[in-house]
Amino acid sequence: MKKKLVHLTVNEEYHELYISPRKLLVEILRDELDLTGTKRGCSTGSCGACTILLDGAAVKSCSVLAVQVDGAKVTTVEGLADGAGLTPLQLSFLDHGAFQCGFCTSGMLMSATAFLNEDPVSEDIKKGIQGNICRCTGYNSILRAIRAVAEGKYEDEGR
């Protein structure tokens, strides 16, 4: 199988990668770019642990071939905050204990970030993370964390 050249801007860093077309975006992020914050929890596009932002929209990186997104802009959990800073959402996750084992957390943060960027109405928060499975928390702490940010409680915090 012929390898293809793919151009990706990941967390504001530009990459030219020579990849096999059968590689999924999540595999490129994890295996080629060492961005292991993005997880995989299933192979059926069900769990959302691999959620990243693709040109600003939440997408499951296990359900996209990397060749298909040539030229795209990708944000992973590692790109949420600069350096040692944290985003308001990350701070809120800490304050609300919105994670336990943490394996779904990256995907959850990405879904929630996309949701908050899209001018949220607080009753819709459940819909915003409907595509993400968390086996530990029962979701309510996550919803509280996102709601607190949506309601502007973290406006002066974060980077």
Partner 1 sequence: MIHNFNYHRATTVQESLSLLEKFKEDYKIICGGQSLLILMRQGLVAPENLVDIKSVKEMSYIDYDPKKGLKIGAATTHREIEKSPEIKKNYPVLVEMEENLASVQTRNWGTIGGNLAHGDPASDPAPILIAMTATVKLANTNGERSLLLEDFFVDIFETALEEGELLIEIQVPVPLKKSAVAYEKFNIIKNHQGIVSVAASITMAEDGIGCKDARIVLGAAAATPLRAGEAEQMLIGKKIDTKLLASVGKKASEECDPVSDIHATETYRRALVKALTIKIMKKAWEQAKTSGRVGGKHT
Partner 2 sequence: MKKHTYTVINTPIHNIDGIAKITGRAEYTFDITLPRMLHGKILRSPYPHGEIIHIDTSKAERLKGVKAVLTGKDTLGRKQGIWRRFKELCDEEILARDKVRYIGEPVATVAAVDEDTAEEALDLIEVEYNALPGAFEPLEAIKEGAPQLHEHAERNINVTRHIEWGDVDEGFKKADYVREDWFRCSSQAHVCMETHCAVADYTPEGKLTVYTSTQSHYYIKVLLAEILGLRENDVRVISRYTGGGFGSKFELDSAQFCCSILSMKLCQPVKIVLTREEEFSATKRRTPMFYYIRSGVKKDGAFLAKEARVFTEGGAYTAMGATALYLTGFFQSFPYVWPSYRYDGYRVYTNTAPTSAMRGFGAPQATFCAETQIDLIADELGIDPIDIRRKNAMYPGYEVPGQATIQSCGLGQCLDKIDDWIKSRGKLPPNRGIGVSAYGFMSGGIFNWFDTPYAFSSAVLQINIDGKVDLFVGSQDMGQGSNTTMAMICAEELGVKVEDIRLHMGDTETCPVDLGAWGSRETLMQGNAVKMAASKAKQQILEFATAKLAPNIVYDLDIKDGWIHLIARPERGLSFYDVVKEAIRGKDGQPIIARGHYTPHRKGMISPAYSFGVQAIEADVNPDTGKITLKNCVTAHDCGQVINPLGVEGQLEGAIAMAAGYGFTEDLPMDEGKILNPNLVDYMLLRATEMPETKVMEVETYEPEGPFGAKEAGEGLTNPTAGALGNAVFHATGISIKNLPITPEKVLNALKEKKNK
Which residues here bind partner 2, judged by CB under 8 A? Answer: 30, 35-44, 46-47, 49, 76-78, 80-81, 86, 90, 93-97, 99-106, 109, 125-127, 129-130, 132-143
| Nearest Cα residue to 109 out of 68, 49, 69, 158 | 49
d(CA 138, CA 118): 24
What is the contact surface with partner 1 in residues (CB under 8 A)? 1-2, 4, 21-22, 24, 43-45, 48, 51, 54, 57-60, 63-65, 67-68, 70, 111, 114-115, 127-128, 130-132
Tokens of 93: 């996750």
CA quadruple 60, 66, 67, 71: dihedral positive or negative?
positive
In the chain, which ranges are E strands?
A: 4-10, 13-19, 51-54, 57-60, 73-75
Q: Which is nearer to partner 2, 54 or 129 (CB)?
A: 129
Is 72 or 80 the residue whose CB approaches partner 2 more closely? 80
Q: Which is nearer to partner 1, 77 or 91 (CB)?
A: 77
Residue 16 touches which of partner 2, partner 1, none (Cβ within 5-8 Å per kind): none
Q: How far apart are CA 62 and CA 113, in angstroms?
A: 19
**51/101 Cα distance (integer angstroms):** 17
| Comparison of 69 and 92: residue with beta carbon closer to partner 2 | 92
For partner 2, the closer CB: 72 or 107: 107
Structure tokens belonging to residue 121: 């109405």
Residue 6: other Cβ atoms inside 10 A: 23
Least Å from the CB of residue 44 to partner 1: 5
Output the smallest distance, CB 88 to partner 1, in A.
20
Q: How far is the CB of 145 from partner 2 (least distance, A)?
A: 10
